[in-house]
Amino acid sequence: MRDARARTLRRFVEGRRLTGRLLVGTSGFAYRDWAPRFYPPGTRPANLLAAYGAQLPAVELNATFRRRPTASAIAGWVRATPPAFRFAVKAQRGAAVRALLGTPAESIAWLTEPLGAFGERLGAVLLRVPAEIRRDGPWAGRDPALADRRLAGVLEAWPPSVPLAVELQDTSWHVDETFDALRSAGAALCVTELDEHESPPTLRRTAAFVYLRLRRSDYTAAELEAWAARIEPFLTDGVDVFAFFRHDPVGRAAELALELERLLGGRVGGGRT
C-alpha cells in the first residue's frame, strides 16, 4: 500500500512542471558515524562535505551557530561542493539574541559581514529566537507590542540582499502580527516540526522561499509522503523550499532527505532563492 501511494505521488509530480527547487538536507554534515550508511567507508573528516554534496543539494550549517564563520572556512565549504549546492547558515546564537534584545544594527552587521564570501551559494540565513524569549515575556516588560517593535527593528536592520528565515521557537510569537511583519520584510517564517507535535505544523509562506525544519527523530513512509504532498504545490508555483532533517547518530536523517527528494522527482528546478 505504501509503495502504491509513493508511485502515485511520483506520477503526479512527474506530470507537473516543478520550477521551484527542493533544497533538502540535514542539520550539519560532519558526522563520521554516518559511514557506511551514508558516507563511503573510510571517508576522511576533511572529505565529508564533498561526499555529502555529491548526494544532497543543501546543508544547514551547525558550526556557524556556535561561532561566526571565517573567510577561510567559507572558502573551504564552497570549494568542497558543486556550483548548485546551497548553504543555510545558522546565525551565531549570541549575536542573534542581542539583535532582538537591544542592538539590532550592530549585531546584524557583525552577523552578516562575512557572508558575502558565500556568493550565490548562500541560500538563506536562519535566525533563531529561543523558546525562553516569549513575545509576552519579562524581557519586553510583558508587553507584546514592545516585543513586536523589537522584532521589527531586527527586520528593518537586516540587509535585503541576504535571504532571511526566522525561527520563533515559542508559540506566543505565532500570531498574525508576527506573520505580517515577516511578510512585509520578505523574511521567511521557519516552520519546525518536533516529536511532541501531535499534528504537522501549519505552513505559512511569508517570503520568496519556504524554510522547513523536520525535527522528529524519525519519519514513516506515510509521513514523508504527506510532507512531499504539502511541499509539491510550492515547487509547482516556482517557490524554492529548504527542508532540513534533524541530525542523528547513524545517518537516518540523510536517508530521509534522500527519500523526500526521490518522492518529489529528484533535484527538481534549478533556480536560486
- Please report the pLDDT score of residue 273 as a whole number: 35
Options 3.50.50.60, 3.40.1210.10, 2.60.200.20, 3.20.20.410; CATH of 2-263: 3.20.20.410
| Contacts of residue 49, Cβ cutoff 8 Å, sequence gap at least 6 | 29, 30, 59, 77, 80, 81
Cell of 110: 557583525
Task: State pLDDT tens for residues 88-120.
Answer: 999 999 999 999 999 999 999 999 999 999 999
- Looking at the chain, the number of H-run helices and the number of E-run strands are 10, 8
Q: What's the pLDDT band for 44 if we cut at 50, 70, 90?
A: very high
Q: Which of 260, 263, 254, 240 is nearest to 36 (CA)?
A: 254
Identify which has the larger pLDDT, 113 or 4. 113
- Please report the pLDDT score of residue 10 as a whole number: 53
Domain range summary for the chain, segments of one domain joined by +: 2-263
Taking CA atoms, 210 is separated from 95, 139, 156, 175, 239, in Å, by 24, 29, 20, 18, 7
Task: State pLDDT tens for residues 219-241.
Answer: 999 999 999 999 999 999 999 99
- Please report the pLDDT score of residue 55 as a whole number: 97
Mean per-residue pLDDT, 165-181: 98
Q: Whole-structure pTM over 0.85, yes or no? A: yes
Mean per-residue pLDDT, 175-204: 96
* Alpha carbons within 13 A on the beta-carbon side of 79: 8
- Please report the pLDDT score of residue 83 as a whole number: 98
Q: Give the dihedral of Cα atoms 108, 238, 175, 212; nearest 10 deg.
A: -70
